[in-house]
Amino acid sequence: MKAYLALISTAAIALSACSQEPAKPAADTAPAAASAPASAPAAEASAAAASEAAPAAAVDEACSTVVSSDDAMKFDTADINISKACKTFTITLKHVGKMPKAAMGHNIVITKTEDVDAVDKEGAAAGVDNDFVKADDPRIVAHTKLIGGGEETTVTIDTSKFAAGNKYEFFCSFPGHIAMMRGNVNLVD
Ligand code: CU
């Protein structure tokens, strides 16, 4: 009986191990899965997918961007270009590193250039539990969550929040990261 119970609990552990493991690769394989329908050999299926997906994809690409960050405390771009034609603009932040949020977390905060230093300083004081962002800070045009290695997050910005004549920047408000993680938000035609 004991052995039987032990077997069951072993099986339960194995099961729970199994059910946890696919969760991680799922994030990695998601893009591959998403692109799979496009390469499907069935002409009918791909034609249908193209007619539905193409216009949506075109809009998304024009009014969205992906910014990658890593364990080396860097963004992969120094510029985020936002077309003035976009009513909303979506930024996806990826953290391709392995370090946890508490040690090497990253976010994207967008403010006017003149507000960057104060927002960064007060964000640091808000602490990791608040994503290093001061709550309801009116100077912040938009910000993402703070994420750790292997994670990604998305924020959609109402572009009417950008006023003509101002200069905007994006940065990571994890304490100290701004020295390495800062760039320009450009409103372009
Ligand atoms: Cu950071």
Helices (H), the chain: 2-20, 23-39, 43-62, 101-104, 116-126
CA of 93 to the centre of ligand 1 (A): 11
Give residue 60's pLDDT. Answer: 64
The Cα 56–Cα 7 span in angstroms is: 51
Give residue 56's pLDDT. Answer: 47
Across 122-150, b (16+ Cβ under 10 Å) vs e yields: ebbeeeeeebbbbeebeebbbbbbbbbbe
| Polymer length of the chain | 189
CA of 170 to the centre of ligand 1 (A): 11
CA nearest to 131, candidates 146, 149, 141, 117: 146
Q: pLDDT class for 48, splitting at 50, 70, 90?
A: very low
CA of 163 to the centre of ligand 1 (A): 26
CA of 43 to the centre of ligand 1 (A): 45
Tens digit of each residue's pLDDT (9 = 90 or more) over 100-131: 999 999 999 999 999 999 999 999 999 999 99
CA of 73 to the centre of ligand 1 (A): 6
CA of 148 to the centre of ligand 1 (A): 9
The answer to whether 138 touches 95, Cβ cutoff 8 Å, is no
The Cα 149–Cα 137 span in angstroms is: 26
